[in-house]
């Protein structure tokens, strides 16, 4: 709550009757898009991103969130769906962290939904890697591709 009040200078309250969070500008609000930024921050937190990652939405202009379902990529049921999610996460989260570090994004996997936070081009790279894993590509092949992507990104900057 404090990033919304202190950084965006918005008023926030929870309405128990409607069971919703309400944001309102105050006389101290400077930014015209503060309410939208506040909404993005709250949605990111509710999707499962860490507070530090959600705060990045408030501070940086070119950070976005893209969401999709595993079944949007390929129709899977039962054990096949579980295996696809397992390939994305990897052993002890290794594959997910490799994709996050190579593409400079943050990934949240909530049941069948996948949320990716980052810049537009980095989200595309992460989404391509995630889709490859869902389709059935072996994690080793995705690691090599991510290593090449990370090398190209580091040369660019």
Residue-wise pLDDT tens digits, 73-109: 888 888 888 888 888 888 898 889 989 988 899 999 9
Question: In whole angstroms, what is the distance from residue 45 CA to residue 149 CA?
Answer: 28
- This prediction's pTM: 0.86
Residue 150 has pLDDT above 90, yes or no: no
Looking at the fold, whether 54 and 28 belong to one and the same domain comes out as yes
Looking at the fold, whether 98 and 125 belong to one and the same domain comes out as yes
Pick the last residue of a domain from 59, 76, 102. Answer: 59
Question: In whole angstroms, what is the distance from residue 117 CA to residue 65 CA?
Answer: 4
Looking at the fold, whether 46 and 75 belong to one and the same domain comes out as no
What CATH code is carried by the domain that includes residue 76?
A: 3.30.1370.10
28-77 tens-digit pLDDT:
888 888 899 999 999 999 999 999 999 998 888 889 999 999 888 888 88
Looking at the fold, whether 148 and 82 belong to one and the same domain comes out as yes
CA 104 vs. chain centroid, Å, equals: 11
What band does 157 get if pLDDT is binned at 50, 70 and 90? Answer: low
Closest CA to 41 of 31, 26, 28, 51: 51
Two structure tokens written together for 54: 């959600």
């Amino acid at each position: 709550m404090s990033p919304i009040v202190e950084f965006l200078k918005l008023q926030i309250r929870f309405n128990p009757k409607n069971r919703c969070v309400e944001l309102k500008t105050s006389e101290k609000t400077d930014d015209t898009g503060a309410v939208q930024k506040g909404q993005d921050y709250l949605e990111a937190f509710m999707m499962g991103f860490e507070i530090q990652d959600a705060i990045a939405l408030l501070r940086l202009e070119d950070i976005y969130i893209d969401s999709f379902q595993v079944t949007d990529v390929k129709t899977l049921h039962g054990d096949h769906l579980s295996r696809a999610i397992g390939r994305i996460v990897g052993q002890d989260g290794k594959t997910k962290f490799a994709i996050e570090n190579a593409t400079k994004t943050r990934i949240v996997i909530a049941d069948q939904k996948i949320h990716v936070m980052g810049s537009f081009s980095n989200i595309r790279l992460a989404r391509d890697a995630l889709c490859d894993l869902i389709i059935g590509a072996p994690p080793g092949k995705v690691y090599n591709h991510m290593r090449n992507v990370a090398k190209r990104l580091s040369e660019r900057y």
